Structures are given as C-alpha cells and as structure tokens.
Amino acid sequence: DIQMTQSPSSVSASVGDRVTITCRASQGIGNWLAWYQQKPGKAPRLLIYAASSLQSGVPSRFSGSTSGTEFTLTISSLQPEDFGTYYCQQVNSYPVTFGHGTRVEVK
C-alpha cells in the first residue's frame, strides 16, 4: 500500500498568515493526489485535484504544488473560515489512501 505521510499534525495560525501543509508519498504517484478540507461534523470537501488544479468554487488562496513525491497545500492568506482538518489522498493505485490529517486552527 502507498503510505501518505502528512505534516504537521496540527497548526495554529493567525488571520492573514501563510499556511503550508505537506504530504509525502511512500512511492511515486505522479500527480494523482487530491486535498480535502473537513469541518467538524461535516463531510470532506475537495479543494485541489491532480496535485495543483483548483476545484470549482474553491477560493484562489488555496493552491497545490508538487516536487517528486512531496506534495504541498498552501493557504496564502488564512481566513477565519479555513479552520478544520485537511487531508491528502492518493488515487494512483489501490487501496486509495489518505494522510492522517492536519488540524488547522485560526487564532
């Protein structure tokens, strides 16, 4: 199985801060990676697909990038509504696997 190592496990930042979350795949997955945001008690929401493509309706302050097997989600200017847990997901091969999540707190 492909392991997705996500870091940090949590981050606390102020409004306007730049926040970076990283996910490392245990083997090559090309660009077969997505990022999701989940708020407490709610279903996940797709933010980024194909490593760097912004899902329709998602604010442009969210962006994704890749370097080899390392993938990065960046929130360029953190907003109050960006709290929640963020997950990466690989869809290169079965089983589909997720990172363990990064909890984002807005101070």
Among residues 70, 72, 80, the alpha carbon closest in space to that of 107 is found at 80
Stretch that binds other proteins, among 13-21, 63-71, 73-81, 99-107 (CB under 8 A): 99-107
The reply on whether position 32 binds other proteins by CB under 8 A is: yes
For residues 57-70, one letter each, b for 16 or more C-beta atoms within 10 angstroms of the residue's C-beta and e for the rest, the string is ebeeebbbebeebe
Q: How far is the CB of 19 from other proteins (least distance, A)?
A: 19
Pairing of strands 102-106, 10-13: parallel
The reply on whether position 44 binds other proteins by CB under 8 A is: yes
The reply on whether position 92 binds other proteins by CB under 8 A is: yes
The reply on whether position 65 binds other proteins by CB under 8 A is: no
Give the separation between CA 53 and CA 50, rounded to whole angstroms.
Answer: 6
Give the separation between CA 106 and CA 61, rounded to whole angstroms.
Answer: 15
The reply on whether position 45 binds other proteins by CB under 8 A is: yes
The single residue among 55, 66, 74, 76 that binds other proteins, judged by CB under 8 A, is 55
The reply on whether position 99 binds other proteins by CB under 8 A is: yes
The reply on whether position 107 binds other proteins by CB under 8 A is: no
